[in-house]
Amino acid sequence: MAPSTLTALAEEKTLQASFVRDEDERPKVAYNQFSNDIPVISLAGIDDVDGKRGEICKKIVEACEDWGVFQVVDHGVDTKLVSEMTRFAREFFALPAEEKLRFDMSGGKKGGFIVSSHLQGEAVQDWREIVTYFSYPLKSRDYSRWPDKPEGWIEVTKEYSEKLMGLACKLLEVLSEAMGLEKEALTKACVDMDQKVVVNFYPKCPQPDLTLGLKRHTDPGTITLLLQDQVGGLQATRDNGKTWITVQPVEGAFVVNLGDHGHYLSNGRFKNADHQAVVNSDCSRLSIATFQNPAPDATVYPLKIREGEKPILEKPITFAEMY
């Protein structure tokens, strides 16, 4: 069972057994051993109809075919909004345990605060605290589950989620066009697009070499946009875990990765990013993941199958049936 918060555990000398991973799951690369392998793409000019858009689209498609992950700058999301979202998040995690636990989301509550893995009941827990917002469709919002401290965070989160929805849809348009489809094809395939904002706080850890902040996985949805601070800890692999890289943090950038749904819609052309988060003993780390997912009843099947290819799914299924 996960502890109520990690604040006290962060000051201990040794790691509790519930966080210790098997040796083959432990970090192989340090949190600050950065790689520049993941491309950083400027979106300046993406709305232009001239050659600039084509050049940007080509870079995005190449990144999706190679890693399934890239970073974007000049994305149009206001720097002040990003700064406020980050500041409020840090202030929330600095609150006393009893304040955070007012929004405890254990027991199936839809949104709020929880420690460790989103998959509660796992034998080994992730070293993180999280706040989860169910933000789209709008009818899914339960503001009683949105932390009311620090004051003003709710309004900032509303604006943040709206801007990230717009950016995600713009990126999906690029991928739709690359597949030879109308630009709204991927967004339409999501039916009523779902959005979940997950704020991750990784406290400093007494024995970071024995655990993970977030275990290795691919995201189930269509596309994910991650805002991370400058500490470092996001890692990716493209050879099934044989080698890992730590993604170089870029001030103000969003890390974009494709999920399983996006992978299937492209018939495997675009990779679903294989990634994890590591922690360290020096300082805490903050990241904010915005997951863009299809509706549970959305059909999952390749939207286009290129000549000579076979569909990677035997038959259409719903997103709810994927897991």
Complete DSSP assignment for 40-82: EEE-TTTT-SSHHHHHHHHHHHHHHHHTSEEEEES-S--HHHH
Is the per-residue pLDDT at 187 higher than 70?
A: yes
Residue 278 near residue 27 (C-beta atoms within 8 A): yes
Q: How many percent of the chain have pLDDT more than 70?
A: 97
Cα 25–27–33 angle (5° rounding)? 155
What pLDDT is attached to residue 59?
96
Between 113-117, 124-128, 132-136, 210-214, the lowest mean confidence (pLDDT) is in 113-117
Q: State the average pLDDT over residues 272-290.
A: 97
CA 153/CA 100 separation, integer angstroms = 14
Is the per-residue pLDDT at 306 higher than 70?
A: yes
Q: State the average pLDDT over residues 102-108.
A: 86
What pLDDT is attached to residue 165?
98
CATH number assigned to the domain with residue range 39-294, chosen from the 4 options 1.10.20.140, 2.60.120.330, 2.60.120.10, 2.40.50.1070: 2.60.120.330
What pLDDT is attached to residue 3?
61
CA 16/CA 20 separation, integer angstroms = 7
For the stretch 124-165, pLDDT in tens is: 999 999 999 999 999 999 999 999 999 999 999 999 999 999
What pLDDT is attached to residue 102?
94
What pLDDT is attached to residue 166?
97
Domain limits, the chain:
39-294
For the stretch 51-94, pLDDT in tens is: 789 999 999 999 999 999 999 999 999 999 999 999 999 999 99
What pLDDT is attached to residue 119?
56
Model pTM? Answer: 0.95
For the stretch 26-51, pLDDT in tens is: 999 999 999 999 999 999 999 887 77
Tokens linked to 171: 């990126």
Select the highest-mean-pLDDT range: 109-113, 117-121, 300-304. Answer: 300-304
CA 146/CA 196 separation, integer angstroms = 12
Residue 227 near residue 83 (C-beta atoms within 8 A): no
Is the per-residue pLDDT at 118 higher than 70?
A: no
What is the DSSP code (8-state) at residue 190? T
What pLDDT is attached to residue 2?
53
Q: Is 50 exposed, middle or buried (0-12, 13-18, 19+ CB in 10 A)?
A: exposed
Cα radius of gyration rounded to whole Å, the chain: 19
Count the helix, strand and coil residues of the chain and give each as a percent rounded to the nearest 5: 30, 20, 50
Residue 162 pairs with which residues in a beta bridge?
A: none
Is the per-residue pLDDT at 120 higher than 60?
A: no
User: What's phi and psi for 189, nearest 5 deg?
Assistant: -65, -20
